[in-house]
Chain A
Amino acid sequence: QQQVKQSPQSLIVQKGGISIINCAYENTAFDYFPWYQQFPGKGPALLIAIRPDVSEKKEGRFTISFNKSAKQFSLHIMDSQPGDSATYFCAANMDSNYQLIWGAGTKLIIKP
Chain B
Amino acid sequence: GAGVSQSPRYKVAKRGQDVALRCDPISGHVSLFWYQQALGQGPEFLTYFQNEAQLDKSGLPSDRFFAERPEGSVSTLKIQRTQQEDSAVYLCASSFLRASGGSYNEQFFGPGTRLTVL
Shortest distance from the beta carbon of B36 to any chain A beta carbon, whole Å: 11
B112 in complex: contacting residue of A31, A43, A46, A105, CB < 8 Å: A43
Check if A100 is an interface residue, CB within 8 A of chain B. Answer: yes
B91: chain A residues within 8 A (beta carbon): 43-44
Q: What's the nearest-Cβ distance from chain B to residue A46, in Å?
A: 5
Cβ-closest chain A residue relative to B95:
A98
**Contact assessment for A94 and B103 in the assembled complex, using a CB-CB cutoff below 8 Å:** no
* CB contact list, B36-69 vs A, under 8 A: 40-45, 48, 56, 59
| A43 touching B93, Cβ below 8 Å | yes
Taken together as a complex, chains A and B put the C-alpha atoms of A99 and B48 apart, in Å, by 9
Which residues from chain A contact B110 at a C-beta distance below 8 Å? 43
Q: Which of A44, A51, A97 contacts B103 (CB 8 A)?
A: A51
Closest to A98 in B: B99
Kindly supply a per-residue 1/0 record for chain B positions 17-43, scoring 1 wherever the CB is within 8 Å of any chain A CB and 0 otherwise: 000000000000001010000001111
Chain A residues closer than 8 Å to B43, beta-carbon distance: 44, 89, 100, 102
Residue total for A at the interface (Cβ-Cβ under 8 A): 26
Contact B40 A98 (CB under 8 A): no
Q: Quick one: CB contact mask for A75-102 with B, threshold 8 Å, 1 for yes?
A: 0000000000000010101111111101
Main secondary structure of the interface of B (DSSP, over half): loop
Instruction: Give the size category of B's interface with A.
Output: 20 to 34
Which chain A residues in 28-78 approach chain B with CB under 8 Å? 31-32, 34, 41-46, 49, 51
State whether the Cβ of B107 lies closer than 8 Å to any Cβ in chain A. Answer: yes
Q: How far apart are A96's CB and chain B's nearest CB, in angstroms?
A: 6
Instruction: Give the chain B neighbours of A6 by CB distance below 8 A.
Output: 42
| Residue contacts A-B, CB under 8 angstroms, 17 given | A6-B42, A32-B103, A42-B111, A43-B112, A45-B108, A51-B102, A93-B101, A95-B101, A98-B101, A98-B105, A99-B48, A100-B43, A100-B107, A102-B42, A104-B41, A105-B40, A105-B41
Q: Which residues of B contact A (CB under 8 A)?
A: 4, 31, 33, 40-45, 48, 56, 59, 91, 93, 99-103, 105-112
| Chain A contacts to B: CB under 8 angstroms | 6, 31-32, 34, 41-46, 49, 51, 89, 91, 93-100, 102-105
